[in-house]
């Protein structure tokens, strides 16, 4: 395995990139970036007045890679230091307390309540010219109150590491055609489509990152094509993160909005992951997918349909799996803009671990929270081997507020397959496939782009599958009893 000689807030293998960043100061100044002083004004609207930064915020290097909320907020610290407009400086801190009872994972054999405080800190430093941009983003993810049996993985803890370190080149009018193209090189994060297969994780305490190259070509919001060739970054809880030449990820993604009320995404992702010493766990997958959707608007029906097919090899065994997602929604033209959604998801599972066909769907580098339930130290449901209908109601009672009530029913797609990554498995199928159902209440309040509050409660009514599991499955005592999960978090940015 190749290790990048990373150190906190630095990249050894990418040292040449750091030198280019320093040298790029002169180039950025030449490209027309101007100095600006902060101006303070009052934002009109309901709710308390907000102090708004008027210093221009040039588009950063990762603007087309991730959703705007990941980088677009008022840079109060930069304004206070009176830094030039082409120099970006931003800080973000998030703290979340979460707790749940009656754990079901075999790694928690005493069945004790698991409570944690998760904290995530990020710092962004960018040099933003008109055509050439550089970005460094560091992330420190820690956990407190965890005990010997707490569920802690690299999805929760990853101390003092580099999340992004990249250079980008942008051409806004390629050969006078009106097209825009961007090239990114270095360590980067990506949001692709809805994020079910590739995402810059938000709720999770750590985020996916990749070392490599990304290119896009597009015309405004009408269409764009994205291509990438990267090595996924392998997180470590306390040591510097690394990448491996034995794990390569590549793909292409096309987005178009030419047809009214039909937005189309089509994509192909390839993965060749040979890192594990166990050859049986090597993954050589090709993933093909399409996504059709319409944006919600008051007084009309909207929808989202995503269909994914996955082929290749799992070790020496043929791999064939698929995933299907359907949303049908309606937004009422009433106060609070009530929106009703019906969901259905299906992800194939593996019926027999000893046959010549592997069928468990692999969600690659996607996220689950927005579709299913909170993850963090909870999150029992993975996008593999399940069938789940459900519904959701969303209301907006005040400016910046959103309240959701969600209910889903859960079944294993095949009773002989594993229950996600929870370590629970009855290969005989004698435990059935009913996992239960959950009810979730979630409230968010975004007072400004710089300050957010959120809390939520989930009750998982566990199904007969957990009652019937054999002792060999390793279910902790009380693991078949209903679980209650609660969290409260705050996030602020400077």
What are the tens digits of pLDDT across the range 284-301? 999 999 999 999 999 999
pLDDT of residue 22 exceeding 70: no
Please state the pTM of the whole predicted model: 0.88
With bands split at pLDDT 50, 70 and 90, how would you rate the model's confidence at 37?
very low
pLDDT of residue 472 exceeding 80: yes
Say which CATH number the domain at 237 has.
Answer: 2.40.160.100
> Looking at the domain assignment, is residue 212 inside a domain?
yes
Q: What is the pLDDT of residue 353?
A: 84
Q: What is the pLDDT of residue 57?
A: 84
pLDDT of residue 244 exceeding 50: yes
Percent of the chain's residues with pLDDT above 70: 89
> Looking at the domain assignment, is residue 220 inside a domain?
yes
Q: What is the pLDDT of residue 203?
A: 97
Average of per-residue pLDDT across 313-321: 96
Please, what is the average pLDDT of the chain? 90
With bands split at pLDDT 50, 70 and 90, how would you rate the model's confidence at 477?
very high
With bands split at pLDDT 50, 70 and 90, how would you rate the model's confidence at 221?
confident
> Looking at the domain assignment, is residue 171 inside a domain?
yes
Average of per-residue pLDDT across 297-308: 97
Q: What is the pLDDT of residues 45-80, one digit of tens each?
A: 333 344 445 567 899 999 999 999 999 999 999 999
- Total structural domains within the chain: 1
Average of per-residue pLDDT across 361-385: 97
Q: What is the pLDDT of residue 185?
A: 98
> Looking at the domain assignment, is residue 78 inside a domain?
yes
Average of per-residue pLDDT across 242-268: 95
> Looking at the domain assignment, is residue 1 inside a domain?
no
> Looking at the domain assignment, is residue 309 inside a domain?
yes
Average of per-residue pLDDT across 288-315: 97
Q: What is the pLDDT of residue 415?
A: 97
With bands split at pLDDT 50, 70 and 90, how would you rate the model's confidence at 10?
very low
Identify the domain containing residue 128 by its residue range: 6-493
Q: What is the pLDDT of residue 55?
A: 66
> Looking at the domain assignment, is residue 142 inside a domain?
yes
SS (H, E, C) the chain: CCCCCEECCEECCCHHHHHHHHHHHHHHHHCCCCCCCCCEEECCCCCCCCEEECCCCCCCCCCCCCCHHHCCCCCHHHHHCCCCCCEEEEEEEEEEEEEECCCCCCCCCCCCCEEEEEEEEEEEEEEECCCEEEEEEEEEEEEECCCCCCCCCCCCCEEEEEEEEEEEEEECCHHHCCCEEEEEEEEECCCCCCCCCECCCCCCCCCCCEEEEEEEEEECCCEEEEEEEEEEEECCCCCCCEECCCEEEEEEEEEEEEECCEEEEEEEEEEEECCCCCHHHCEEEEEEEEEEECCCCECCEEEEEEEEEEEEEECCEEEEEEEEEEEEEEECCCCCCCEEEEEEEEECCCCCCCCCEECCCCCCECCCCCCCCCCCCCCCCCCCCEEEEEEEEEECCCCCEEEEEEEEEEECCCCCCCECCCCECCCCCCCCCEEEEEEEEEEEEEEECCEEEEEEEEEEEECHHHHHCCHHHCCCCCCCCCEEEEEEEEEEEC
């Amino acid at each position: 395995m190749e290790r990048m000689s990373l150190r906190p807030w630095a990249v050894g293998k990418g040292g040449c990139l750091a030198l280019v960043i320093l040298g790029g100061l002169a180039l950025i100044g030449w490209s027309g970036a101007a100095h600006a002083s902060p101006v303070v004004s009052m934002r009109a609207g309901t709710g308390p007045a907000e102090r708004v930064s008027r210093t221009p915020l040039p588009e950063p290097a990762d603007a087309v890679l991730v959703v705007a909320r990941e980088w677009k907020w008022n840079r109060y610290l930069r304004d206070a230091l009176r830094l030039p407009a082409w120099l970006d400086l931003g800080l973000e801190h998030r703290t979340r307390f979460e707790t749940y009872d009656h754990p079901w994972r075999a790694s928690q054999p005493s069945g004790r309540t698991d409570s944690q405080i998760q904290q995530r800190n990020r710092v962004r430093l960018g040099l933003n010219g008109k055509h050439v941009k550089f970005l460094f983003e560091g992330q420190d993810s820690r956990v407190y109150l965890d005990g010997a049996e707490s569920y802690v993985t690299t999805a929760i803890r990853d101390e003092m590491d580099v999340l992004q370190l990249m250079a980008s080149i942008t051409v806004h009018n390629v050969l006078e055609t009106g097209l825009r193209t961007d090239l990114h090189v270095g360590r980067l994060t990506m949001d692709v489509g809805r994020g079910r297969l590739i995402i810059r994780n938000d709720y999770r305490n750590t985020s996916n990152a990749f070392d490599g190259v990304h290119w896009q070509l597009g015309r405004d919001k009408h269409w764009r094509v994205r291509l990438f060739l990267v090595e996924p970054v392998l997180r470590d809880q306390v040591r510097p993160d690394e990448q491996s030449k034995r794990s390569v990820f590549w793909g292409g993604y096309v987005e178009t909005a030419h047809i009214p009320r039909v937005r189309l995404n089509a994509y192909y992702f390839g993965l060749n992951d040979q890192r594990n010493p166990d050859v049986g766990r090597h993954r050589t997958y090709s993933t093909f997918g399409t996504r059709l959707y319409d944006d919600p608007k008051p007084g009309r029906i909207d929808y989202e349909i995503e269909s994914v097919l996955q082929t290749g090899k799992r070790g020496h065994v043929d791999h064939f799996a698929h995933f299907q997602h359907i949303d049908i929604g309606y937004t009422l033209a009433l106060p609070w803009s009530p929106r009703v959604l019906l969901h259905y998801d299906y992800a194939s599972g593996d019926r027999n671990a000893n046959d010549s066909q592997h069928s468990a769907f692999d969600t690659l580098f996607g996220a689950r929270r927005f579709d299913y339930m909170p993850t963090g130290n909870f999150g029992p449901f993975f996008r593999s081997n399940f069938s789940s209908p459900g519904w959701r109601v969303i209301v907006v009672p005040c400016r910046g507020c959103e309240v959701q009530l969600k209910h889903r029913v859960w079944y294993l797609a095949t009773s002989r397959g594993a229950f996600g990554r929870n370590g629970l498995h009855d290969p005989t199928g004698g435990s059935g496939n009913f996992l239960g159902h959950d009810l979730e209440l979630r409230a968010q309040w975004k007072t400004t782009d710089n300050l957010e509050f959120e809390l939520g409660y989930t009750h998982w009514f566990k199904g007969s599958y957990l009652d019937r599991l054999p002792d060999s499955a390793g279910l902790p005592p009380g693991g078949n009893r209903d679980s209650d999960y609660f969290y409260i978090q705050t996030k602020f940015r400077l």
